Chain A
Amino acid sequence: MGKLIGKEVSVAAADAVGLVNVDVIAAYPITPQTHIVEHLSELVAAGELDAEYIPVESEHSAMSVCCGSSARGARTFTCTSSQGLALMNEVVFIASSLRLPIVMVVCNRHLSAPIGIANDHSDIMPVRDSGWIQVFAENGQEVFDHVIHAFRVAESEKVSLPVIVNMDGFVLSHMIEPIEYWEEEMVKQYLPEFKPLYRLDPDDPITIGALTMSEYLTEAKMAQNEALKNALPEIVTAWDEMAEITGRQYRPVEKLHEDSSETLFLTMGSISGIVSDAVDQLREQGESVNLLKLRLFRPFPFKALKEAVGNARRVIVIDRAVSFGGPPGPVASEIRSAFYSDTNRPMISGFICGLGGRDLIPDDYINIYRESLLQTEGGATETEDILYGVKA
């Protein structure tokens, strides 16, 4: 077992990156950054981490440097947030299309305008289709474990894809939590040396990022999509092997209680903790309700989701972002799509909550539960997602 110590989650995330002994860290060092890169720069400056720390002039350059170093065969890390991720966007898509196993922590924060810095998922939803593996962490321990898991999965020769570890801004990034650190021996046992599928080498030249026109672009995108889908068993295997080392078992979709319930909440990220309090209060009142945590967002775990939902009548999806002019809840629309072809599908009830860091308490989720029940009693089978708590 590792040591349990109190640490700010950002600092712990940086320590996890230090433990995997990265070769290159490229990051834009000021707003919207977190203590992750600050602590990494301290580790490098103090000589505790033997890595190249490259402070660049923008996030676009940060991801460009990451692509270059990863293509050369270096274990590569960066992290960002909100506007930074938006500025990086162009190169985020290139990293995955070139199958470069970069690891990035995104501290999820709201995207301007109006200007703001607090937590929601409006930064990550625009890169939903970027082709990166994406996981969501609920607490500091999950962040620490998933940084190590991310390198293991990304660099697996069966995967070779970049991974985003999502952690909620402020709620996690600036919170001090008890975290069990891995011992170096545990990391050595879990994470093999990085052996890239290809590497840029002047003595054995290859071309990365060449032109592809209509003649083969369909095939290139087919191959990319298959690669991402095929990463799923590797992601699960890496979780199972982590459980053998740490005793903590992660799954693509996790249930709070193992029984079946009529109604299920579905959440991603740190709000799962508050929602679980609401669920437990409702269960004490005799309500048939449970919580599903969607840990793996990409590749989307269709099979695990359906198994976890089982015969539930209703799924209440809590979204943290708005898809403007569309089905407003981006996660709710994916869940609806996953069940559309099923004859006995549950009603998907979507609520958009906690935008710009607005705090919700368990009573809010109890209200949401009651409102969802009213929707069904009114005979509705399809509902429009609701921006919860809007001042009207």
Chain B
Amino acid sequence: MTTPSEFTWRDLEPGVIISDAGNSREYKTGDWRSARPVVDKANCIKCGVCYLFCPDIAITQAADGTFEADLYYCKGCGICEQECYTGCITMVDEEE
């Protein structure tokens, strides 16, 4: 018994190799997050420690020099909150 699908087993590359580089950008890793980082920008000293420690490279620098997480990728691990020197990052439950 088969399941109709637009992308079938025949469409996989041999050995499930990924032949186009850099496509992990398309892989949404933030869809099972239970908490998201909220930044109090007034207290951000623009040091970038959150950016350095983010294991998913989900944090980017905004035009004003402060940092924020891209929720497409952020898994909500809370490392940025732990590392932030000024305590300007707070993890907020996604349910709230």
Q: Does A166 contact B (CB under 8 A)?
A: no
**Could you tell me if B9 and A208 are in contact, using CB atoms closer than 8 angstroms?**
no
In-complex Cβ contact of B14 among A99, A205, A207, A222 (8 A)? A99
CA distance A307 to B18 in the complex (A): 41
**Could you tell me if B8 and A97 are in contact, using CB atoms closer than 8 angstroms?**
no
**Highest count of chain B CB atoms <10 Å: which of A98, A160, A197, A219:** A219
Q: Does A231 contact B (CB under 8 A)?
A: no
Q: Give the contacts of B3-34 with A (CB-CB under 8 A).
A: 8-10, 12-22
In-complex Cβ contact of A198 among B10, B19, B21 (8 A)? B19
Q: Give the contacts of B64-80 with A (CB-CB under 8 A).
A: none
Least Cβ–Cβ distance between A32 and chain B, in angstroms: 29
Q: How many residues of B contact A (CB 8 A)?
A: 14
In-complex Cβ contact of B15 among A97, A222, A226 (8 A)? A97
A227: chain B residues within 8 A (beta carbon): 14
Using C-beta atoms within 8 Å of the partner chain, give the interface range for chain A: 20 to 34
Q: Does A100 contact B (CB under 8 A)?
A: yes
Q: What residue of chain B has the Cβ atom nearest to residue A222's Cβ?
A: B9
B10: chain A residues within 8 A (beta carbon): 223
CA distance A198 to B16 in the complex (A): 11
**Could you tell me if A223 and B19 are in contact, using CB atoms closer than 8 angstroms?**
no
**Could you tell me if B14 and A220 are in contact, using CB atoms closer than 8 angstroms?**
no
Least Cβ–Cβ distance between B69 and chain A, in angstroms: 22
Least Cβ–Cβ distance between B7 and chain A, in angstroms: 8
**Could you tell me if B21 and A99 are in contact, using CB atoms closer than 8 angstroms?**
no
Q: What residue of chain B has the Cβ atom nearest to residue A98's Cβ?
A: B15
Q: What residue of chain A has the Cβ atom nearest to residue B2's Cβ?
A: A222
**Could you tell me if A207 and B17 are in contact, using CB atoms closer than 8 angstroms?**
yes
**Could you tell me if B9 and A100 are in contact, using CB atoms closer than 8 angstroms?**
no
In-complex Cβ contact of A210 among B8, B14, B16, B22 (8 A)? B16
Interchain residue pairs with CB less than 8 A apart (24): A97-B15, A98-B15, A98-B17, A99-B15, A100-B15, A160-B14, A160-B15, A198-B17, A198-B19, A204-B21, A205-B21, A206-B17, A206-B20, A207-B18, A208-B17, A210-B17, A216-B16, A219-B8, A219-B12, A220-B12, A220-B16, A223-B9, A223-B16, A226-B9
B interface residue numbers (CB < 8 A to A): 8-10, 12-22
A interface residue numbers (CB < 8 A to B): 97-100, 160, 197-198, 204-208, 210, 212, 216, 218-220, 222-223, 226-227
